Amino acid sequence: MPIKKIPSDSLQLGMYVSSLDRPWVETPFMFQGFELQDQNEIDELKRLTRHVYVIIPDEEIELSLVPERETGSTTTTRTTGSSDHPRTTLAHEEVKKVQPFHQAFTELFTELESLVRADKPLPMALFNEPVKSLVGSVTRNPDAFIWLTRLKKYDSFLYKDSLESAVWAVALGKRLGIAEQGLHELAIGCLLMDVGKLRLPTALLNKTGRLDHDEWDLMKTHVELGVELLEQSGGYPDAVLSIVRSHHERLDGCGYPAGLEGDHIPLFAQIAGIVDQYVAVTSARPFADPISPSRAEEMLYKQRGILFDEMLVEYFIQTLTAYPTGSLVELSSGEVAIVKAQKSGHHLRPDVILLLGADKQPYGTYTLANLDDYSKDGKAVHIVKTLANGEYGVSIEELSI
């Protein structure tokens, strides 16, 4: 099929954009190649570019739906088939529905830590009901659990990271078409992938400076400590154990503890590794400040085919969208907001809650804004960029929304 350069003003719905006149990482569109299915995408391209390159089948500027690529690049990734299930409930309805179940994870983490500290087994039955509610909620509408997790303040970053990783892993698994039982195992594995750290010195976990060689070697033992704990507890399926054992393995063999390469790394462990890295770099750490979601997506995109499976990375970034739920964003009006919920086909214009005015001073009240029709001084308002948690003095966990 020929590729044709056209002015951005000539874009139409149904066209397949293959490249831009500027780097992809400077735009909200994280993939080199996508079909235009929404007018907002066209408007954004007109704003950001002067011309684009489109694929023209049979010399006509008409495109049928482009089938999704099969998962699997440098590894032999396999799923039951790619599928992006539509949201079946509205975000605010789902939040109300699952809030009590989300709160149960605080009790779960408290019990989990008590059992580990007391050197007692961790019955897998502890996770059945909480994970069932998580998987069900993410399947209906992932915004709710993501939103509640981002705004929840936990005593330990380990708990918050584990839950956020589980939510994103299930959302990605759902997009990949992984069956429900697999999603349950994926969630449990992500909740427990760092459980071995509870057997490490607290001073090591909370150290603010760079770890020295011996400290790093000790930190890496959390993998074998976690696997040992679950094997001794009994009842955990191989898929869960594979996540705990291999979520730090990397495609090129540079990971640990076994230095596995390519398709020797189990699929669920690959998924866990991707979401674990994203959550780690976008969350505050004793030793590092968080980065913005867009920078984290760019980082993952550059690592595709090197550290992580290419197609898994692309599907994950599609799952995140350009402006992930629960992320801080700066608007063209100068205001600062937090993304509350996605809208099918309108990912560039999600619903946001306004936090700061153009002067970067807090608003007295929280106002929900629909970016499809929100304007300021007669001008339509759009998102300019994502922000790291803490920018402009806004800490997501401190918001009383």
pLDDT above 90 (res 362): yes
Residue 47 lies in a domain: yes
Least confident of 133-137, 179-183, 281-285: 281-285
Nearest to 241 by CA among 263, 217, 272, 262: 272
pLDDT in tens, 25-52: 567 765 556 678 778 888 888 888 888 8
Between 9 and 69, the higher pLDDT residue:
9
Residue 253 lies in a domain: yes
Bridge partners (DSSP) of residue 339 are: 352
290: its two tokens: 């968080």
Residue 333 lies in a domain: yes
261 and 178, same domain (yes or no): yes
Domain termination site, one of 320, 352, 386: 320
Residue 72 lies in a domain: no
32 and 146, same domain (yes or no): no
Q: Check which CATH number belongs to the domain holding 125 and give it.
A: 1.10.3210.10
Residue 243 lies in a domain: yes
Residue 69 lies in a domain: no
DSSP string, 208-255: -S---HHHHHHHHTHHHHHHHHHHHH----HHHHHHHHHTT--TTS--
307 and 182, same domain (yes or no): yes
Domain termination site, one of 18, 39, 59: 59
Residue 79 lies in a domain: no
pLDDT of res. 70: 36
Backbone angles phi, psi at 219, to 5 degrees: -60, -40
For range 300-321, the mean pLDDT: 90
313 and 336, same domain (yes or no): no
pLDDT of res. 155: 67
**CA 329/CA 336 separation, integer angstroms:** 6
Nearest to 190 by CA among 214, 215, 161, 217: 161
For range 324-335, the mean pLDDT: 95
pLDDT in tens, 266-290: 999 999 999 999 999 998 877 788 9
**Residue 338 · residue 148 · CB < 8 Å:** no
The boundaries of the domain holding residue 380 are: 328-398
50 and 110, same domain (yes or no): no
pLDDT of res. 99: 87
What proportion of the chain, given as a percentage, has pLDDT over 70?
A: 87
Residue 64 lies in a domain: no
β-strand pairing of 375-376 with 34-35: unpaired
pLDDT in tens, 185-222: 999 999 999 999 999 998 998 888 778 889 999 999 99
pLDDT of res. 193: 96
266 and 128, same domain (yes or no): yes
147 and 13, same domain (yes or no): no
pLDDT of res. 73: 38
104 and 14, same domain (yes or no): no
Least confident of 7-16, 151-160, 168-177: 151-160
Domain termination site, one of 19, 43, 59: 59
β-strand pairing of 336-341 with 328-331: antiparallel
User: Could you give the number of structural domains in the chain?
Assistant: 3
290 and 335, same domain (yes or no): no
15 and 44, same domain (yes or no): yes
**CA 144/CA 138 separation, integer angstroms:** 8
132 and 192, same domain (yes or no): yes
**CA 263/CA 249 separation, integer angstroms:** 11
pLDDT of res. 75: 40
Mean of all residue pLDDT scores within the chain? 85
A 10 A CB-CB count for 188 gives 26
| pTM, to two decimals | 0.80
pLDDT class of 84 with cuts at 50, 70, 90: very low
Measured N-to-C along each axis, helices 267-282 and 293-303 cross at an angle, to the nearest 10 degrees, of: 140
282 and 350, same domain (yes or no): no
